[in-house]
Amino acid sequence: MRKTSDHEESGNDVEVLEKDREYTLTEVCTICRLDENGVQEYLDYGVVVYESSDEARFRQSQLDRLLRARRLQEDLELNHAGVALALDLLDTIARLKREIALLKR
């Protein structure tokens, strides 16, 4: 059993994750609990893209996007096309908000 105290020092084991870390298809499958066909479906709908080299490599941002898509789908009962649209619209809103913030300065 783990004891919970009011404060726990995180100590020196803080690891800054590289922003541009890349993941293999197998890693993405494990993290997102999908099989290869499952990931392929998201690729087909343009929810995520991978870096084209000799092997499919997914950037951190794409992995985050896929996880987000999975959560939204599960919680809001969306199909692939619906979640693709939702993510695109959320991106657009975020971009517009940034532009407005810039203009307001």
Partner 1 sequence: MEFVDYYKVMGLEEDASTDEIKRTYRKLARKYHPDVSKEPDSEARFKELGEAYNVLKDADRRREYDELKQYQSSGAGAGGFRPPPGWQSRESINPEDFSGPAGADYSDFFEQIFGSRFRQQGSAHTEQHFDARGQDIHSSLPVSIQDAFNGATVELSLSTPVVHHDGSIRNEQKKLKVKVPAGVTNGQKIRLRGQGGPGVGKGGSGDLYIEIQIREDSRFHLDGKDVSVSVPVTPWEAALGASIDVPTLNGTVKMTVPANARQGQRLRLKGRGLPGKTPGDQYVILSVIVPKAETDEQKKAYQTMSELWSVDPRARDGGIS
Residue from 37, 58, 38, 60 nearest 49 by CA: 58
Residue 80 in contact with residue 88, Cβ under 8 Å?
A: no
Please pick, from the candidates 40, 71, 91, 99, the single residue that binds partner 1 as defined by CB under 8 A: 71
100 near partner 1, judged by CB under 8 A:
no
> Could you tell me which stretch among 22-30, 34-42, 43-51, 68-76 binds partner 1 (CB under 8 A)?
68-76
Taking residue 80's Cβ as centre, other Cβ atoms within 10 Å add up to 15
Binders in 15-54 for partner 1, by CB under 8 A: 15-17, 19
Tokens 């922003």 sit on residue: 19
Q: Which tokens sit at 77?
A: 């009962």
Spatial separation of the C-alpha atoms in residues 93 and 105, rounded to whole Å: 19
> Could you tell me which stretch among 10-18, 22-30, 37-45, 50-58 binds partner 1 (CB under 8 A)?
10-18
Please pick, from the candidates 25, 56, 58, 72, the single residue that binds partner 1 as defined by CB under 8 A: 72
Taking residue 69's Cβ as centre, other Cβ atoms within 10 Å add up to 21
Please pick, from the candidates 45, 60, 80, 85, the single residue that binds partner 1 as defined by CB under 8 A: 60
Q: Which residues bind partner 1 (CB under 8 A)?
A: 1-2, 4, 6-17, 19, 60, 68, 71-72, 74-77, 86, 90, 105
